[in-house]
Amino acid sequence: MDTSLVLQNLLSPAILFFFLGVFAVLLGTDLEIPAPLPKLFSLYLLLSIGFKGGVELQHSGLGGNVVLTISAAVVMSVLVPIYCFFLLRSKFDVFNSAAIAAAYGSISAVTFITAESFLKVLNIQSDGFMVAALALMESPAIIVGLLLVKLAARDRRSDVNAGWGALLHEAFLNSSVYLLIGSLIIGFLVAFFNPSGVEKMEPFTGRLFYGVLCFFLLDMGIIAAQRLGDLRRAGAFLTGFALLMPLLNAGIGLGIAVFLGLSQGNALLFMVLCASASYIAVPAAMRMTVPEANPSLYISSSLGITFPFNIIFGIPLYMALIQRFIPAG
Amino acid sequence: MDTSLVLQNLLSPAILFFFLGVFAVLLGTDLEIPAPLPKLFSLYLLLSIGFKGGVELQHSGLGGNVVLTISAAVVMSVLVPIYCFFLLRSKFDVFNSAAIAAAYGSISAVTFITAESFLKVLNIQSDGFMVAALALMESPAIIVGLLLVKLAARDRRSDVNAGWGALLHEAFLNSSVYLLIGSLIIGFLVAFFNPSGVEKMEPFTGRLFYGVLCFFLLDMGIIAAQRLGDLRRAGAFLTGFALLMPLLNAGIGLGIAVFLGLSQGNALLFMVLCASASYIAVPAAMRMTVPEANPSLYISSSLGITFPFNIIFGIPLYMALIQRFIPAG
Amino acid sequence: MDTSLVLQNLLSPAILFFFLGVFAVLLGTDLEIPAPLPKLFSLYLLLSIGFKGGVELQHSGLGGNVVLTISAAVVMSVLVPIYCFFLLRSKFDVFNSAAIAAAYGSISAVTFITAESFLKVLNIQSDGFMVAALALMESPAIIVGLLLVKLAARDRRSDVNAGWGALLHEAFLNSSVYLLIGSLIIGFLVAFFNPSGVEKMEPFTGRLFYGVLCFFLLDMGIIAAQRLGDLRRAGAFLTGFALLMPLLNAGIGLGIAVFLGLSQGNALLFMVLCASASYIAVPAAMRMTVPEANPSLYISSSLGITFPFNIIFGIPLYMALIQRFIPAG
Amino acid sequence: MKRLDLIMSERELDKVLHAIRAAGAPGYSVMRHVTGRGRSGDVVSESMEFSGLGANAHVIVFCDEATIERLKPAVNSILEYFGGVAFVADAQPL
Amino acid sequence: MKRLDLIMSERELDKVLHAIRAAGAPGYSVMRHVTGRGRSGDVVSESMEFSGLGANAHVIVFCDEATIERLKPAVNSILEYFGGVAFVADAQPL
Amino acid sequence: MKRLDLIMSERELDKVLHAIRAAGAPGYSVMRHVTGRGRSGDVVSESMEFSGLGANAHVIVFCDEATIERLKPAVNSILEYFGGVAFVADAQPL
Ligand SMILES: Nc1ncnc2c1ncn2[C@@H]1O[C@H](COP(=O)(O)O)[C@@H](O)[C@H]1O
Ligand SMILES: Nc1ncnc2c1ncn2[C@@H]1O[C@H](COP(=O)(O)O)[C@@H](O)[C@H]1O
Ligand SMILES: Nc1ncnc2c1ncn2[C@@H]1O[C@H](COP(=O)(O)O)[C@@H](O)[C@H]1O
Ligand code: NA
Ligand code: NA
Ligand code: NA
């Protein structure tokens, strides 16, 4: 494997600030990014990535393998939770298995964004429609997770349990999916009808983007390191799962990318979507609909292990694989 | 009326993000911009608009119809509450009538800013002194509102009621008026004595501006939609008032603009100042000095109806009227 | 003394916004920058100044008088608290004397940043390694302060008192020192291995910087003015100390700068480091380790007097002295 | 008069407030951004507020004993299922 | 000892704190960004904090009964006019 | 059951929470960004939150009397040295 890719990634500001956050916790400093600043950054990143994705989508159009790629992404977000669930059942109850499975079927927008920045450094193009794939992979995983619970655990209390209406609502209208898709549509409309509007947004959604990402990753480093303690309680099985499942999913993602003939850039984003796990939309939905599951299991594995693993080692590793299997565009 | 103006406005990022906020509430998503982020955006917008206005004021000077225009704006902020008051008295008590009237005499800085952005897209110039007019229209409306209460309701409790000193203080030194005028003076001084300082501020107060406005309008959309429920309680009269009063005031504003020979750009801003209603400075003053009035009446009408109406339909409509009556510069 | 330097400083946006904050309090407006926004700005400024300092450090290298300058800075941060302590003992008890002394041995990052902006307006260069000096002056002052307490006050309660481990931890790993040094190292690494990363950070850490500084100084003005009341309680001695000690320290700093042959720009930054007093790292450490000291004494003198004095009069005054004693580069 | 203190995840806030209103309470107050530690030993920290879990909320209700009795079943049912604590004490209007 | 809990709009905070200090209370604590619902059915929501109305504030005062009696008239007068609630309970120093 | 309210600088929060956990309390809740005024007349204001001093924190613990007795010495020792207040009252589970 190409060690220069790993180094290039490790020495990018984004990853270095992530480590700065991790060491802040490990060394016991009192560095903190107080609430609601992380929320500000995360809203900003979703809005910007959505808007820019919409603009690019309008420029590139919906032809070619766009529809196929997005469909494949959605299919992955349905299949991944299913095989995760059966694997996890060997160790966890129905509720925890379903909740963790849903997290791994869904995606992490920050991982996606970090991969995009990585591509930019390598001067490799990717397409705006991948943001649409990102947005569309959240909801199916949530629904599959809940279906698994409904099917496998039939005698739950029904008085406080949300009905299907509420579940679908949570799956399709949770705030991060909504903001992402909404900004995507706005970007598309503005690029189409009002191109000068794109320029006016650029300093905010474009130029500032990388710096805000670094600031946010500083906080993510803090949070991820705080979660490491929980993991010791969660045990070796879950830790192994959180490290190996991204590799497996990325591998399947690579296969699909080769099959669909995706470009190197889109292939990396596709692999990252498959490999990453959710810590925003899915926990929100699971907390509401599967309160029996222990949040520290699904949050800690996705945020404390899979997220750092993907942004630190996963992205360059996946890129190295892509360079072997997909010719440069 | 020119439908392309309406479309151009509707499809600008600013208005689209406003709608995104509105639909977030209507669809029941849990999207929120937690406090104090809206405060951050609103402080930023006031500081930036003030600073840029001061810089432009220094460049354009105080000659020509500057003094006349500003005086006309102040006169409008005195007259509007008076006729609003008598109209509202047919339905509301003295306290509510005075508070709503004061809100409509005063202005909405975000409406003004949205109109400025609209002008920029059309490549129509406006002048920095309009920001001074903006700043100077808040206080008179507040004072008139309180005078109306003092005159019409004589037997109020005096032990807890603030004296005239406190009222004038609140009118002239409430934080938004203060920040706006202060930044205006700073902009003026810096442009005069220290032009390189203007450049150093530009990336912050200038380039970022439109993006922050969009982010803030997303929140304003959420807030406006949350207020719609209150309006049903307030009834048809107030809803009608909140829709028609901006039109009336904008019409009078247009007459004055033609009379004073304002340019198209300044005329639009002048009309928008007349047509818009306050939801920051005036509520702050009214809450303190006329607690008998029901805040949900004056906040909901200005924020839930007049504000959306102005930024969505009002601005292009006023522009279409201007294009009929005022020749392009 | 060159009055044009004073005026140039007084009429810079940064200082004018500081005054806007001061007058907001003096006039009794309700302007406030709610928490945690000041924290956001202060984290941003530390991160940016550190990152940019690291980049410049990499460009300029560690040769020449770099090591000597940094060593001199550290020596000053050890000596200043010692002579301050004995001076203060004439009026205050051991605890308060040590805490105030530590504050004056340490530094104020915002004063440093304001001096840097001042240099930029005058087109005078300074070097990135001064940021390293800034970072390295916090900890020694804290340790000296605590040593003074340990030596002078032997019969303190030991059950709740932190041991040496905790004290060193607080001195070297308090969040502002950590963030500053961490960002410095990141800047250095990125400039060395990944120069395109510097460019990607620039819009965030570079262009936005001055505007955020102004916004933050608006808040600092509010806070400084709120502290003025405390000073009346603290008395004339402390007020005099807070005005004269910066002058004395700046004078010694000038002597060292001349001796070391520093450039004009570095000399100003060196003087400002000597002259400024801490209101973040030192209070954090003192609150924890010397709770017997009254925070309003050390916070009010450093934040209410020394800070405003330095940014308003000190910086141009020190520059005027430098122009007499150090030839332009 | 009684004072009711409720602390639970902000995710359940709407459900709880609905139950309080349905019981006819004269009003309530809500403090958000509350962190804490509960039975399971899980810490709810401020740094997780950006995640989907959110922080806790603290609800205070001043009301008479009858209202307490009316809101008790619904509120307890929510807290039992989702977690959180609820305590009642005496309080006199000033 | 007594514990006093006050909840009202942050707009009246200065007035209320003034009355508390004037009554000689040994101290007080203030929590801001409080939201809620009162007699009139009006909801004070966080999203209105940027508007002129502001959110609510929660004030806690631990003091003796005599201080409560001293601050009662002024505080009640403010709350009656501007809105808000005030409740007193017993509390023992730890 | 008892209710314990603690208010002190957030700088001592970790120490206090440690003492609470060590006494075996079943849980606790923390509200930060609290401002106030204490014995010395010093005001802790929100605007100082960015400084090293920080604002105050409000800790609520619902627990039984035995736990209160167990945490009392450690907590009181911290508060005496660093400042802050602690009060106990009765509270019944809903
Ligand atoms: N004994 C307690 N005293 C105060 N707050 C508590 C207590 N137990 C739980 N809480 C709060 O309620 C939340 C949920 O508790 P739990 O359902 O036990 O996990 C915790 O995060 C705490 O904020
Ligand atoms: N019964 C209550 N229990 C708790 N908080 C209340 C209650 N009534 C009012 N409040 C609080 O006091 C504020 C003002 O109340 P009001 O003056 O009745 O509108 C409300 O927004 C609530 O935050
Ligand atoms: N009597 C009191 N009632 C409520 N809060 C108090 C009281 N005394 C002190 N406090 C709080 O405890 C903090 C520290 O108090 P002190 O140690 O007395 O300076 C203050 O800043 C207040 O927030
Ligand atoms: Na995935
Ligand atoms: Na108006
Ligand atoms: Na110093």
Q: Which ligand is nearest to the CA of E23?
A: 3
Q: Which ligand is nearest to the CA of E84?
A: 2
Contact C291 F83 (CB under 8 A): yes
pLDDT confidence of residue A8: 86
| pLDDT above 70: residue F78 | yes
pLDDT confidence of residue A23: 96
Among C96, C298, E64, E25, which residue's Cα sits nearest to residue F39? E25
Task: List, for residues A36-60, the tens digit of each pLDDT value.
Answer: 899 999 999 999 999 999 999 998 8
Q: What end-to-end distance do the CA atoms of chain C give, in Å?
A: 20
Averaged pLDDT score across all residues of chain E: 91
**Which residues of E are less than 8 Å from F5 in CB distance?**
3, 60, 91
Q: How confident is the model at residue C290 (pLDDT cuts 50, 70, 90)?
A: confident
**Which residues of F are less than 8 Å from C35 in CB distance?**
33, 46-47, 49-50, 55
**The pair of three-digit structure tokens given for residue E55, joined into one six-digit string:** 């959110």
The model's pTM: 0.95
| Domain span holding position E77 | 2-90
pLDDT confidence of residue D47: 72
Distances (CA, A) of D40 to A295, A296, F26: 11, 10, 9
Phi, psi of E64 (to 5 degrees): -85, 170
CATH class held by domain A3-23+35-325: mainly alpha
Answer with the residue of higher pLDDT: C292 or B71.
B71
Place of tokens 């306290």: B95
Which of E31, E85, E86 faces D31 most closely, judged by CB atoms? E31
Residue B158, judged by CB atoms within 10 A of its CB (0-12, 13-18, 19+), counts as exposed
The C-alpha atoms of residue A120 and residue A124 are separated, in whole angstroms, by 6
CA of F83 to the centre of ligand 3 (A): 8
For ligand 3, whether the C-beta of E2 sits within 6 Å is no
Which residue has its alpha carbon closest to ligand 1 atom 22?
D36
Contact B160 E82 (CB under 8 A): yes
Residue of E nearest to D3 (CA): E87
For ligand 1, whether the C-beta of F60 sits within 6 Å is yes
**Which residues of A are less than 8 Å from C205 in CB distance?**
211
Residue by residue, DSSP assigns A45-113 as HHHHHHHHHHHHHHHH-STTTHHHHHHHHHHHHHHHHHHHHHHHHTTS-HHHHHHHHHHHHS--HHHHH
pLDDT confidence of residue A158: 59
Among B161, B165, B163, B167, which residue's Cα sits nearest to residue B144? B167
Contact A186 B35 (CB under 8 A): no
pLDDT confidence of residue A161: 61
Task: List, for residues C261-280, the tens digit of each pLDDT value.
Answer: 999 999 999 999 999 999 88
Residue of F nearest to C156 (CA): F81
Q: How confident is the model at residue A150 (pLDDT cuts 50, 70, 90)?
A: confident
Answer with the residue of higher pLDDT: C170 or B246.
B246
pLDDT confidence of residue F86: 97
Low-confidence ranges of chain B (pLDDT < 70): 1-2, 64, 157-162, 329
For ligand 1, whether the C-beta of D85 sits within 6 Å is yes
CA of C276 to the centre of ligand 6 (A): 4
% chain A with pLDDT above 70: 97
Cα A275 to the center of its chain, rounded Å: 8
pLDDT confidence of residue C82: 96
Q: How far is B184 from chain C (nearest CA, A)?
A: 11
CA of D8 to the centre of ligand 1 (A): 7
Contact F82 C35 (CB under 8 A): no
Q: What end-to-end distance do the CA atoms of chain F give, in Å?
A: 11
Which helix (H) or strand (E) segment holds residue E28: the answer is strand E28-37
For ligand 2, whether the C-beta of E39 sits within 6 Å is yes
| pLDDT above 90: residue C105 | yes
| pLDDT above 90: residue F50 | no
% chain C with pLDDT above 70: 97
| pLDDT above 60: residue F21 | yes
pLDDT confidence of residue A253: 97
CA angle A186, A188, A190 (to 5 degrees): 65
Q: Are D84 and A160 in contact (CB under 8 A)?
A: no
The CATH number assigned to the domain holding F65 equals 3.30.70.120
The C-alpha atoms of residue C142 and residue A298 are separated, in whole angstroms, by 42
Q: Is A46 on the interface with D (CB under 8 A)?
A: no
pLDDT confidence of residue B172: 87
| pLDDT above 70: residue A2 | no
Task: List, for residues A267-324, the tens digit of each pLDDT value.
Answer: 999 999 999 999 888 888 888 888 889 888 898 899 999 999 999 999 999 999 999 9
pLDDT confidence of residue C2: 65
Strands D92-93 vs E85-90: parallel, antiparallel or unpaired: antiparallel
Q: Is C229 on the interface with F (CB under 8 A)?
A: no
Task: List, for residues C189-199, the tens digit of each pLDDT value.
Answer: 999 998 999 99
Q: How confident is the model at residue C162 (pLDDT cuts 50, 70, 90)?
A: low
pLDDT confidence of residue D74: 95
Backbone dihedral region for residue B173 (phi beyond 0: left; psi -120 to 50: alpha; all else: beta): alpha
**Which residues of E are less than 8 Å from F46 in CB distance?**
32
Chains touching D by CB (3 or more pairs below 8 Å): A, E, F
Q: How many residues does chain D have?
A: 94
Q: Mean per-residue pLDDT for F26-42?
A: 89
Q: Mean per-residue pLDDT for E21-33?
A: 95
Q: Mean per-residue pLDDT for A207-223?
A: 94
Q: Mean per-residue pLDDT for C198-212?
A: 94
pLDDT confidence of residue B158: 59
Could you report the predicted ipTM of this complex, rounded to two decimals? 0.94
Mutate to test the interface with D, among A175, A288, A306 (most CBs of D within 10 A): A288
Task: List, for residues C9-60, the tens digit of each pLDDT value.
Answer: 999 999 999 999 999 999 999 899 988 899 999 999 999 999 999 999 998 8
Q: How confident is the model at residue A125 (pLDDT cuts 50, 70, 90)?
A: very high
The C-alpha atoms of residue B154 and residue B151 are separated, in whole angstroms, by 6
Q: How confident is the model at residue A115 (pLDDT cuts 50, 70, 90)?
A: very high
How do the domains of chain C map onto residue ranges? 3-23+35-325
**The pair of three-digit structure tokens given for residue A19, joined into one six-digit string:** 């480590």
Task: List, for residues A74-101, the tens digit of each pLDDT value.
Answer: 999 999 999 999 999 999 999 999 999 9
pLDDT confidence of residue C285: 87
Chains touching F by CB (3 or more pairs below 8 Å): C, D, E
Averaged pLDDT score across all residues of chain C: 91
Averaged pLDDT score across all residues of chain F: 91
pLDDT confidence of residue B100: 96
Among A160, A163, A174, which residue's Cα sits nearest to residue A292? A160
Q: Is D3 on the interface with E (CB under 8 A)?
A: yes
| pLDDT above 70: residue A108 | yes
Q: Which residues contact A93 (CB under 8 A, 6 or more apart)?
A: A292
Alpha helices in chain B (DSSP H): 3-10, 13-26, 37-60, 66-89, 94-105, 109-122, 129-136, 138-152, 164-173, 175-193, 195-201, 209-234, 236-260, 264-275, 281-289, 295-299, 307-309, 315-325
For ligand 1, whether the C-beta of D51 sits within 6 Å is no
Mutate to test the interface with A, among B5, B25, B30 (most CBs of A within 10 A): B30
Closest atom of ligand 1 to D38 CA is: 18
CA of C130 to the centre of ligand 6 (A): 14
pLDDT confidence of residue D50: 75
Which of F31, F38, F75 faces E94 most closely, judged by CB atoms? F75
**Which residues of B are less than 8 Å from C120 in CB distance?**
200
pLDDT confidence of residue C171: 83
pLDDT confidence of residue B153: 79
Q: How confident is the model at residue F43 (pLDDT cuts 50, 70, 90)?
A: confident
The C-alpha atoms of residue C34 and residue C36 are separated, in whole angstroms, by 6
Which of E1, E30, E93 faces F36 most closely, judged by CB atoms? E30
